[in-house]
Structure 1
Amino acid sequence: MADEQPAGEVLIVTGMSGAGRTTAANALEDLGWYVVDNLPPQMLKPLLEVTGFAADALPKIAAVVDVRGRGLLGELPEVTRALRDGRPVRVMFLDASDDVLVRRFESVRRPHPLQGDDTIVDGIRRERAQLASIRESADIIVDTSHNNVHQLATRVVDLFREDGEARHTVTVMSFGFKYGLPPDVDLVADMRFLPNPFWEPELKAHTGEDEEVRDYVLRQTGATEFIDAYATALRPVLEGYQRENKRHSVVAIGCTGGKHRSVVTAIELAERLRSVPGVAVRVKHRDLGRE
């Protein structure tokens, strides 16, 4: 039929206030999901009908539904069953123990949304009663009692990233110190301990992307040893970034003008880092082509 829309994956994120819905939603957004926050359950079907027209651009949709919808939340199980007739739908319920939730609300000095004139504990109990049937029918239950925001984000990434999808992207960037440090750099290495090909007449006009310059740089004392050692040192760093759910980093490799030594080193280092599991590697030459 002409009006039939392609079916994409749908995830409903719900659960206890203070259990980490915002953190989970941010992690899903980083994975490429289209996230809608504070959506009344009755709006799920119209949302999916509208986004169906952009199915290729929005193949994965996550909707955060919670008690901010007031009395509407009780209709979520019925709405979910209706949606499942046409699309793959899962419900993820985030939970935590009462004492942990109390501490979290107290730490941010905000009232529970169902607290009213009573205590935080009263609000939590009311919310648990409202969400009991939703929790019981959820496809995924995540207890965040012992997770900080970084650990929870990592759990969400583990649950929803596709097989083979990188958990961290590192950009290995060559640059010239004479043009200043890159502003967004995480780690910097200085290749000015190697002889500069710029002073070799036959190499001056070439760059580190050319075989002649590459061979010259790599045969210098300490060049290959440094690259191998730096790649080895970066491996636990990149693995740690994944555990802490740091999605991107920049490793900057500098030389005087960013044309020869840093370019060769960036290319060689990137090649070695591609063996680190869960890491996607990009190479960027910031100052290549400058006079």
Structure 2
Amino acid sequence: MSEAIEPTGEVGALETVIITGLSGAGRSTAAKCFEDLGFFVVDNLPPELIGTLVDLGSRSQGAVTRLAVVMDVRSRAFSKDLRSVIRDLADRRMRPRVLFLEAQDDVLVRRFENNRREHPLQAGGRLVDGISAERRLLSPLREEADLVLDTSERSVHDLRRSIESAFTELGAKGRPALRATVLSFGYKYGLPVDADLVVDVRFLPNPHWIPELRPLTGRDPEIRDYVLSQEGALEFLDRYTDILRIIGAGYSRENKRYLTLAVGCTGGKHRSVAISGELATRLRAMGVQTTVVHRDLGRE
């Protein structure tokens, strides 16, 4: 249950990450972040050369211990070739981890228009057609990704924090510590598209309708006490904690290292914020390294 990514192979082996996803979704920003984390970063390497690069890094006698390869669709056979390379390395017990970056179409359009760039698959047509073609092309690869990050609502700093949370701090025996992000949000602003689990806490009374509580947020003790005192609140937390414990064990068995748990109320100000804090506390008590993000707090 975390944004941590397991190193490839045995302890001491080369840790390899492939950074890919939609054009305009933040690959360049991700590459800079990996450089800061001590990765040797290679941009736009043909998929068929990744295996060779991994072999060279593995034989570098410790000179290169962390490798990140940035891939895009400038190779038209990109998706098929890259999936083949990943499976080949997996057969050799050297499987890289795949980070897939994406964003909503309207966000991508705005980014391309702001930079006055043409989409690599636009081919003289409409920008939205290029985005749609790339999304279809990369769909199979997205399904194989170890971690999918939607950057639509993430600032550069938010993306950096997410990557740093995912690819730092190994736990016991050289394995990564489990990590989770608990994300509060408001339903009126839309569902978080990168959530693994979504919890709806609108079954609890809304502090918004109490005048003296309305200006406060779920970070304030008065709101926390009000929300947790409602019928069913503590029972929900206890039972959902048990569910998260089961899910966490399953994620470990399936070699998945990150979970985004989205907690929603109407506006993302009171109930979801308070419950997110409580769930994060319980996850930490279970040994899960947890980050809390309040997506819509202050948005009203």
* TM-score, length of structure 2 as denominator length: 0.51
Q: Judge conservation of contact 1:7–1:55 (CA < 8 Å) in 2.
A: no
Alignment partner for residue 113 of structure 1, among 113, 120, 129?
120
- Larger relative contact order, structure 1 or 2 (CA cutoff 8 Å, min sep 6): 2
1:137 maps onto 2:144 in alignment: yes
Where 2:91 maps in the other structure, the secondary structure is coil
Q: Judge conservation of contact 1:28–1:35 (CA < 8 Å) in 2.
A: yes
Give the drift of 1:53. 2.1
Residues 61-119 of structure 1: CA deviation (Å, up to 9, x unaligned): 11111102222332111210111123142111001000100000011110111111101
Stretches of structure 2 that go unaligned for 5 or more consecutive residues are 1-11, 172-300
Aligned partners of 2:16 and 2:47: how far apart in 1? 13
| Corresponding residue for residue 28 of structure 1 | 34
1:162 maps onto 2:208 in alignment: no
| Corresponding residue for residue 96 of structure 1 | 103
Give the drift of 1:151. 1.6
Aligned partners of 1:11 and 1:109: how far apart in 2? 30
| Corresponding residue for residue 18 of structure 2 | 12
State the one-letter code of the partner of 2:25.
Answer: A
Residues 168-224 of structure 1: CA deviation (Å, up to 9, x unaligned): xxxxxxxxxxxxxxxxxxxxxxxxxxxxxxxxxxxxxxxxxxxxxxxxxxxxxxxxx
The CA RMSD measured in Å over matched residues stands at 1.5
1:127 maps onto 2:134 in alignment: yes
Aligned partners of 2:110 and 2:134: how far apart in 1? 16
Q: Judge conservation of contact 2:86–2:95 (CA < 8 Å) in 1.
A: no
Aligned partners of 2:49 and 2:73: how far apart in 1? 15
Report the structure number with the largest CA radius of gyration.
1
Give the drift of 1:163. 4.9
Aligned partners of 2:108 and 2:68: how far apart in 1? 24
Where 1:152 maps in the other structure, the secondary structure is helix
Give the drift of 1:59. 0.8
Give the drift of 1:150. 1.9
Provide runs of 4+ in structure 1 moved above 4 Å. none
Give the drift of 1:46. 1.0
Residue pairs, 1:1-291, within 5 angstroms: 7-86=13-92, 87-163=94-170
Where 2:74 maps in the other structure, the secondary structure is helix
State the one-letter code of the partner of 1:153.
Answer: R
Q: Judge conservation of contact 1:7–1:52 (CA < 8 Å) in 2.
A: yes
Aligned partners of 1:91 and 1:159: how far apart in 2? 12
Q: Judge conservation of contact 2:105–2:131 (CA < 8 Å) in 1.
A: yes
State the one-letter code of the partner of 1:143.
Answer: D
Distance 1:59 1:126, change over 3 A: same
* TM-score, length of structure 1 as denominator length: 0.52
Where 1:99 maps in the other structure, the secondary structure is helix
| Corresponding residue for residue 271 of structure 1 | none
Q: Which stretch of structure 1 is more off in the superposition, 86-95 or 116-125?
A: 86-95
Q: How many residues align?
A: 159
Aligned partners of 1:155 and 1:31: how far apart in 2? 13
Percent of aligned pairs sharing the same letter: 48
| Corresponding residue for residue 244 of structure 1 | none
Q: Judge conservation of contact 1:9–1:88 (CA < 8 Å) in 2.
A: no
Give the drift of 1:17. 0.3
